[in-house]
Amino acid sequence: MNEIYLANNTTFNCPVEATTSLIGKKWVPSILMLLADKPYRFGQLQAALTKCSKKVLKQQLNLLSASDLISNTKATVANTVESTYQLTPLGQSLMPIVFAMKHWGNQHLICNRESA
Amino acid sequence: MNEIYLANNTTFNCPVEATTSLIGKKWVPSILMLLADKPYRFGQLQAALTKCSKKVLKQQLNLLSASDLISNTKATVANTVESTYQLTPLGQSLMPIVFAMKHWGNQHLICNRESA
DNA sequence: CAGAATCCTATGTGATACTG
DNA sequence: CAGTATCACATAGGATTCTG
């Protein structure tokens, strides 16, 4: 049987489990959704994900980078650092699945409290 | 903006996050894979998932039941209980995504230590 | 602006033993 | 056979503070 080793040195027997270990992180879907549209700077991501702390945001960006789903370029402009994140081709290859999950969630999981 | 309320009384703003909260549990993908093939009894699931404790197995089966992804029927045969689990239509509607995740994981995440 | 370091809490997961 | 109960542990996530 094949084992799957991820960049973060975790091991899985089940490919679905390995995939969810990436997508399953709390803010990763939202991050991917944003980056699917266009590259974002760190601060822009933070602004978009107001309830996500810098630590966790950076943590999950690191995971995505280590897994080669996103790439990161830094530049120094006017004495400040600009850190830009964007999807890699591998990250883009995952987006159809993320969108399928979004669609399924919207179709099947929404229940409005008023109508309940 | 829509909020998503799951059967386990958790709330999400992001449908992908809500979906992964179901698929993302450690043994859920494996359970779904098994049930996609045919109904299983509790003991059969346990035998197939040797490294999953009864407690966690039951816990995740409960989550799937509460979310209406699987159904459970019990029967008493020869003084013992037979508890059978099977996919609901809703659970089946999720399988294409699970298989897509499996496929993506196999395509992109496998790295064999020998070749590394 | 981006990020690293520290501390704290909630949750998920697991081992074991017990019950109807 | 199919659970439940209890204890213990690892990890994820968050709040706050500090740095180049």
pLDDT tens per residue, range A11-56: 888 899 999 999 999 999 999 999 999 999 999 999 999 999 999 9
Task: Answer whether residue A75 is part of any domain.
Answer: yes
Task: Answer whether residue A104 is part of any domain.
Answer: yes
pLDDT score recorded for residue A54: 96
Ranges of chain B with pLDDT below 50: 112-116
Find, among A66, A21, A100, the residue nearest to B94 by Cα: A100
Chain-chain contact of A97 with B94 (C-beta, under 8 angstroms): no
Q: Indicate which CATH number applies to the domain containing B36.
A: 1.10.10.10
What is the total count of domains within chain B? 1
Tell me: the pLDDT tens digits for A66-78? 999 999 999 998 8
Helix (H) or strand (E) holding B44: helix B42-48
Q: Does the pLDDT value for residue A116 go beyond 80? A: no
Q: Does the pLDDT value for residue A60 go beyond 80? A: yes
Task: Answer whether residue B74 is part of any domain.
Answer: yes
Question: Which chain A residue shows the shortest CA-CA distance from B67?
Answer: A109
Tell me: the pLDDT tens digits for B17-38? 999 999 989 999 999 999 999 9
B21: closest CA of chain A, how far (Å): 7
Residue ranges making up the domain that contains B66: 26-108
pTM of the model: 0.89
Task: Answer whether residue B49 is part of any domain.
Answer: yes
Task: Answer whether residue B52 is part of any domain.
Answer: yes
Phi (first) and psi of residue A67, to 5 degrees: -90, 5
Virtual torsion, Cα A73, A76, A82, A84, nearest 10 deg: -10
Task: Answer whether residue A76 is part of any domain.
Answer: yes
Task: Answer whether residue B14 is part of any domain.
Answer: no
